[in-house]
Amino acid sequence: MRTILFISFLFFAFTGKAATQDSLTNQIFNLAYNMEYEQAEKLLGENKNNIDSFYFAVLEIDMSYWKNVTGTDKPNYGAFEITLDKHTLEQAQTFNQKGIQLIQLSYQLRYELKRFKLFSAISSHKKTKVIFNELKNNPQMQTIDNPDLFELYNSMFLYFSNYIKPFGGKSKDVNCKLAIATMENLAKSEKLMTRTLSAYFLGRTYLKYENTPELGIVHFKTLSKIYPGNTKFPELLTECEEKVN
């Protein structure tokens, strides 16, 4: 549990400049989730020097994950793996480099779970713990920004860290339910990015992991309205409805 909290904490420890970058990052985020990838990638590339290197890596990996893995019916796993490799550091030495490596591993874990590579996912989780142990006492860990997103990523890590446990018993179920309850609350956030990511992860979790597609319907309906250019959200909505009926 401490590892999960730390990872979430670290995600925001690197985003101290986020307040001054909100407009730019939100614009990139909106373009990506409306599937306007060319424009989003162009804007991200043009502003590489204006965005913190850690946050840049997060945006690039997340966009590649959506474009090549989860947001398409024709996945390009190779393209996403190239993005992951781009942000893999054999010898991460600085605080910032280790933070980027930690986030890279978190997306790798999601990718491996999606492709049912459970043994690889367990290995990725172990590597994440190594980075955690190297950074947990670093004096640069002082502040966090955006508590809503902090809670969201904390809940995501809590859920998937418990989901991959082969034998978790009652504690596994309790932790997964706690993570879902937190995400449900965050899906009502006033902040668009938090609301979007919470709704998306909830919808996918209900559909793919919890076997409760009826609970995913409301979230995919909302996302379809917010991002009219996104063709995947209506497809996921239909998938939920078909499983219910």
Q: Which of 150, 138, 175 is nearest to 160 (CA)?
A: 175
- Each residue of 127-172: pLDDT tens digit? 877 776 676 666 554 443 445 765 776 677 778 777 777 666 678 8
Average pLDDT over every residue of 59-78: 93
Contacts of 90 (CB under 8 A, 6+ apart): none
pLDDT at 5 over 50: no
Q: How far is it, in rounded angstroms, from Cα 162 to Cα 133?
A: 19
pLDDT at 208 over 50: yes
Which amino acid type is present at position 68?
N
pLDDT of residue 109: 84
Q: Which of 157, 107, 102, 110 is nearest to 127 (CA)?
A: 102
Place 98 in a pLDDT band, splitting at 50, 70 and 90.
confident
What percent of the chain lies above the pLDDT cut of 90? 42
Question: How many degrees, rounded to 5, is the angle at CA 66 between CA 114 and CA 227?
Answer: 125
Tokens of 60: 């690039």
Q: How far is it, in rounded angstroms, from Cα 7 to Cα 3?
A: 6
Average pLDDT over every residue of 168-188: 88
Place 106 in a pLDDT band, splitting at 50, 70 and 90.
confident
What mean pLDDT is reported for the chain? 82
